[in-house]
Amino acid sequence: MISVGASTYSFNEEIDFDLAGSFTLSVIAIDTSGNVGRSDLSVNVEEALKFDRMYLADVGSDSELNSDAFGVPVRINGFTHPDSAGIIFEALYYNTSPNTEIRFIPQKSSFGPFTFGAGANEGELEIGSDNTVNPIVLSDIGYHRIMVNLSTFSYTMETYTPSDTPFDEIFLMGTGVRVNGASTCVNNNDASELCWNFASGKPLTKASSNPYLFTGTVELFDFDPEGDGNNGFILGANPNGWSPFWRFDQGDELDLEPEFTVPNDGGNYIFSAARYGTYRFEFDTHLNQAKLLAQ
């Protein structure tokens, strides 16, 4: 409550916020006759915005963020320079259909407390606390490079064509896995039982529209209920040898959610009974990104 006592008044005060975000400030003026005027001001607190990680969400709800085994949302690249770390991010993303809606979130499993979407003008970011923030729309099919700058609250977007050589085939290798109905424990040469071997790897299907994208229906199950071995898998591109192969940035422990595949390195994806079921598997060799999506 401030007593003005004049027809004009200037108010100036510093306000500390515990968290960055969007806030509404309400100013109510009452004259001596009891007349009331009100103005609501929207304020974005941006100075404190700095995040260790950032994700691209191409789904629209918290439940969709958590329905996959891994791969949703998509982890995007950060920078290590002190002027950029936690502030500027690069998203490399393959858009499979026109007019895909995306948002950026610094937390993995929810659109709150921070979500970044499209501002009022082209190239502007807007911050919100849930999925009601307007999405950025990708109108074109293909690979996109999106730069997000939390200092200027802006983004830039361009399409590009990869220059790396596509692989002819990609295989899943492991145990407790069926790819399009075929077990990764059946030797392709003599039909004997042979798990965790390139000779038993089962091929994914190369997308007709993208030579870097491989997909398949993958079933995870307990291959040996009486044994104590781990069920899991890796990826390979050679039916006659181990190299090249891909494992994961988070692996060798049960049910971790990997964010990138690691060429010729990394850890196995190991799963427990909590992950048993049928999924759609997607692997992009250009982006080194894999998704295991619930059917």
208, 230 Cβ separation under 8 angstroms: no
Return the SS3 of 207.
coil
The model's pTM = 0.83
Alpha helices in 30-178 (DSSP H): 62-65
Tell me: the pLDDT tens digits for 11-61?
A: 888 777 777 677 888 999 999 899 999 999 877 765 557 899 999 999 999
pLDDT recorded at residue 47 = 57
pLDDT recorded at residue 128 = 92
Residues 180-206: what's their mean pLDDT? Answer: 96
pLDDT recorded at residue 228 = 61
User: Please, what are the domains in the chain?
Assistant: 55-160 (2.60.40), 171-294 (2.60.40.3620)
Tell me: the pLDDT tens digits for 213-272?
A: 999 999 999 988 766 678 999 999 999 999 999 999 987 889 999 999 999 999 999 999
pLDDT recorded at residue 120 = 93
Q: Which residues contact 31 (CB under 8 A, 6 or more apart)?
A: none
239, 187 Cβ separation under 8 angstroms: no
Tell me: the pLDDT tens digits for 85-143?
A: 999 999 999 999 999 999 999 999 999 999 999 999 999 999 999 999 999 999 999 99
pLDDT recorded at residue 46 = 57
Q: With 0-12 CB in 10 A as exposed, 13-18 as middle and 19+ as buried, what is 177?
A: buried
292, 70 Cβ separation under 8 angstroms: yes
